[in-house]
């Protein structure tokens, strides 16, 4: 029987039971990743949208693999925030450290302070046309939503998502997606899901909701990669100028409000971050 230490962490919040929960499994210095089937089983057992498996390769160097209950994904923003929050809690990394995170999406820099900030993969727009009428029909469901005069685009900062503008926060919170139809559309377009947003004039750059039923996640309360992609979208459309720090409020409709921070640098690179809160620690006996 093997024993692996695991953590349950709320990411993008400092409050217990807020933000987006993730599982984190530490494999230790030079540890060996379990086989893929076992990691998938662990993710399904923990039942969070993502579980990160972490191997330490050096004093400030780590390899992290991310599993949803349905599949492995290249990168997960909130599980990365959770991971490095755990490493900070355990004293494996200290405030002021700059770490290297090896992921399937590439090698990404992570800085540690009162909050964790992670470098995103180089942002890119994906030239894959989206049927706007079909998307709006899927996303509105039985509700009535209004759509601003902004384009729908697929953007990736490690994972591709459809950026879908909505007119107001009320319209955003009223979305009732057809999850089966959205999963099929996501499969056809090779995207993770839809990141819907409403630009506001309050303390936040935008209010957002994220839907990824193709990967077993009907809705997420905080999504680092998608908010990084949204930062790039807003810059492409001239709605923000570099350098700038953005604040996105996510999870309102789920009763788990999360604040996701992004930083857009002059060279177009994007960092995403926030705080985290450990709520449970235990051992997996497998």
Residue 261: CATH number of its domain: 3.10.310.10
Q: Are residues 151 and 260 in the same domain?
A: yes
The DSSP bridge partners found for residue 109 are 100
Helices H, strands E: what count in the chain? 6, 18
Give yes or no for a cis peptide into 243 (omega within 30° of 0).
yes
Q: Is 61 a catalytic residue?
A: no
* pTM score of the predicted model: 0.86
A 10 A CB-CB count for 273 gives: 25
Q: Are residues 86 and 161 in the same domain?
A: no
Q: Are residues 244 and 150 in the same domain?
A: yes
Interacting residues of 196 by C-beta distance below 8 A, sequence separation 6+ = 139, 164, 165, 166, 172, 175, 208, 209, 210, 211
Q: Are residues 257 and 165 in the same domain?
A: yes
pLDDT at 284: 92
Number of domains in the chain: 2
Q: Which of 50, 153, 219, 220 is catalytic?
A: 50
Interacting residues of 6 by C-beta distance below 8 A, sequence separation 6+ = 23, 24, 25, 26, 42, 46, 281, 282, 283, 284
pLDDT at 286: 83
CB neighbour class for 129 (10 Å; exposed up to 12, middle 13-18, buried from 19): exposed
Give the domain range for residue 247.
Answer: 124-268
Q: Half-sphere exposure of residue 273, counting CA atoms within 13 Å on the CB side? A: 20
Q: How far are the Cα atoms of 172, 179, 185 from residue 3, in angstroms, in the given order? A: 44, 37, 40
Q: Are residues 151 and 237 in the same domain?
A: yes
Q: Note down pLDDT in tens along the chain; length 286 residues.
A: 688 899 999 999 998 998 999 999 999 888 899 999 999 999 999 999 899 999 999 999 999 999 999 899 998 989 999 999 999 999 999 999 999 999 998 999 999 988 899 999 899 999 999 999 999 999 998 888 999 999 999 999 989 999 999 999 999 999 999 999 999 999 999 999 999 999 998 999 999 999 999 988 899 999 999 999 999 999 999 999 999 999 999 999 999 999 999 999 999 999 999 999 999 999 999 8
Q: Are residues 106 and 128 in the same domain?
A: no
A 10 A CB-CB count for 123 gives: 20
Reference 15, options 272, 258, 268, 280; nearest CA is: 258
Main-chain phi, psi angles of 223, to 5 degrees: -140, 105
A 10 A CB-CB count for 87 gives: 23
Interacting residues of 184 by C-beta distance below 8 A, sequence separation 6+ = none
Helices (H), the chain: 36-46, 77-89, 132-140, 169-173, 179-189, 224-236
pLDDT at 1: 65
Q: Are residues 173 and 102 in the same domain?
A: no
Q: Are residues 133 and 254 in the same domain?
A: yes
pLDDT at 49: 87
Q: Are 215 and 193 in contact (CB under 8 A)?
A: yes
Q: Are residues 102 and 177 in the same domain?
A: no
Q: Are 237 and 197 in contact (CB under 8 A)?
A: no
Q: Are residues 133 and 245 in the same domain?
A: yes
Q: Are residues 65 and 193 in the same domain?
A: no
Q: Are residues 256 and 279 in the same domain?
A: no
User: Whole-angstrom Cα distance, residue 117 to residue 87?
Assistant: 14
């Amino acid at each position: 029987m093997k024993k692996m230490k695991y953590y349950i962490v709320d990411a993008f919040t400092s409050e217990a039971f807020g933000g987006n929960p993730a599982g984190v499994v530490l494999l230790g210095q030079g540890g060996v990743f379990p086989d893929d089937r076992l990691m998938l089983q662990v993710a399904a057992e923990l039942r969070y949208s993502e579980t990160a498996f972490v191997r330490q390769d050096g004093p400030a160097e780590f390899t992290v693999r991310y599993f949803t209950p349905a599949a492995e994904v290249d990168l997960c923003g909130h599980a990365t925030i959770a991971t490095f929050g755990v490493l900070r809690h355990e004293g494996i990394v200290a405030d002021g450290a700059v770490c290297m995170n090896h992921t399937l999406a590439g090698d990404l820099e992570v800085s540690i302070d009162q909050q964790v900030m992670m470098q995103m993969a180089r942002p890119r727009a994906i030239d894959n046309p989206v049927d706007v009428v079909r998307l709006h029909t899927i996303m509105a469901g039985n509700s009535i939503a209004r759509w601003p005069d902004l384009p729908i685009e697929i953007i990736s900062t490690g994972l591709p998502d459809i950026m879908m503008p909505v007119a107001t926060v009320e319209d955003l919170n009223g979305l009732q997606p057809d999850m089966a139809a959205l999963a099929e559309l996501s499969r056809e377009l090779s995207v993770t899901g839809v990141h819907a947003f409403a630009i506001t004039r309050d303390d936040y750059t935008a209010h957002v909701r994220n839907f990824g039923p193709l990967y077993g996640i009907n809705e997420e309360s905080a999504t680092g990669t998608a908010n990084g992609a949204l930062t790039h979208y807003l810059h492409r459309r001239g709605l923000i100028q570099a350098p700038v720090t953005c604040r996105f409020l996510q999870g309102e409709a789920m009763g788990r409000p999360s604040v996701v921070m992004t930083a857009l640098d002059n060279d177009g690179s994007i960092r995403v971050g926030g705080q985290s809160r450990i709520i449970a620690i235990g051992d997996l006996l497998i």
